[in-house]
Amino acid sequence: MRALYGKWVVDWNDLFGAVAVIDRECYTSKEYSTLKASWDRFFEIATYREREARQNRMALTGLLESFRHARSTLTRDRFFTLRGLAANSQNLAFEPDYT
């Protein structure tokens, strides 16, 4: 799995590893609460990814509600990203059509 941000593409495991190292190393710093707040959303996504790995996915509507704050250049990109994590992702009504 890869994480996309603008024109940047990063392997999910590399990104998660980097955030974990920063989290561990900065825990005692006075700026920790500011740093922690900046990647709370990342850890939220990591939780959903772990649920997926355990075959315990949420329905698409639940994911859309959980990530209503998330931004993307095109709204449909957020929808189709969350579709990949959803329990009902095989529903043909949710198939992407970028034409």
- Going by C-alpha positions, the residue among 48, 21, 47 that lies closest to residue 35 is 21
Tens digit of pLDDT for each residue in 30-88? 777 776 776 777 777 777 777 767 777 888 888 888 888 877 777 778 888 888 778 88
pTM, entire model:
0.51
Distances in Å between the Cα of 27 and the Cα atoms of 2, 19, 58, 89 are: 27, 12, 31, 37
Domains of the chain, by residue range, sit at 1-56, 57-99
Residue 9, SS3 per DSSP: strand
Cβ atoms of 29 and 22 within 8 Å: the answer is no
pLDDT band at 29 (very low <50, low <70, confident <90, very high): confident
Q: Which residue has the tokens 């772990």?
A: 50
